[in-house]
Amino acid sequence: MTVSNQGVRGSTDDGLPADHAFVCDDCGRRWYYDRRSCPDCGRSSADASAVRLETGAVVATTTVETTPPDVRAPNHLALIRFDGVRLIAQAADGDLSPGDSVRFDGSHRLREGRDRTDPRLVAVEDP
């Protein structure tokens, strides 16, 4: 699936769904955290596409007990390495460990009071 990046820049919403990264149309470089241009070739991010992330590997995890008022407590978080990007996202539960394989799944309100929903990280069984 490819999602247009148009309308993301400068808007006040949270941008792409949590399971999508940007990909440069020119050189194929991926990035997750919005930026104005491709870090490799410099092409404007207005020309970038979005790509859905498949399977990643857990690098580190934490469970946060003290969270902002509109965020669940405890908040299970994991630092994940996907193909071409690294990101920190909410996990469905606190059972992930470094080295585990994960993918995004489901539809959850990550901060209360927002009208959008996003997937969370879940473990995938090794084939």
Partner 1 sequence: MDPSATGSTGVRVAGVGMTPFESDSGRSLTDLAAAAAERALADAAVDPADVDALHFGNALAEALDESAGLANALAAALGLDGASADRIENTSATGASAFHRGVEGIEGGAAGGAESDRTDVALVVGAEKMSAGDTSDVTEAISRLVHRREYAQGITLPSFGGLAAGAYLGRHDAPREALAAVAAKNHGNAVDNPVAQFRKPIDVADALDSPVVAAPLRLYDCCPMSDGAAAVVLTRGGDRGDDESVADAADPDSETFRAPRVAGIASATGTHAVAERPDPLAIDSVRTAGDRVFDRAGIRPDDVDVACIHDAFTVLELIELEELGFYETGTAWEATLDGDTALDGDLPVNPGGGLKARGHPLGATGLSQIVELVWQLRGDLPETRRVDGAETGFAINVAGFGNNSVCTVLRA
Q: Which residues bind partner 1 (CB under 8 A)?
A: 14-15, 18, 31-34, 59-72, 75, 77, 79, 86-90, 98, 110-111, 118
Candidate residues 16, 23, 24, 102; the one interacting with Zn ion per rule CB under 5 A: 24
> Cis peptide before 68, with omega less than 30 degrees from 0?
no
113 makes contact, choosing from Zn ion, partner 1, none, with CB < 5 to 8 Å by partner type, with none
38 binds Zn ion (CB under 5 A): yes
46 binds Zn ion (CB under 5 A): no
Closer CB to partner 1, 27 or 60, in the complex: 60
82 makes contact, choosing from partner 1, Zn ion, none, with CB < 5 to 8 Å by partner type, with none
Q: How far is the CB of 80 from partner 1 (least distance, A)?
A: 8
Tally of CB atoms within 10 A around 89? 21
Q: How far is Cα 31 from Cα 20, in angstroms, rounded to an integer?
A: 10
Closer CB to Zn ion, 41 or 59, in the complex: 41
Q: How far is the CB of 40 from partner 1 (least distance, A)?
A: 14
Provide the residue type at 79 as one letter.
Answer: L
Asked if 53 contacts 40 with a C-beta cutoff of 8 angstroms, the reply is no
Q: What angle do CA 6, 15, 68 make, to 5 degrees?
A: 165
Asked if 124 contacts 103 with a C-beta cutoff of 8 angstroms, the reply is yes
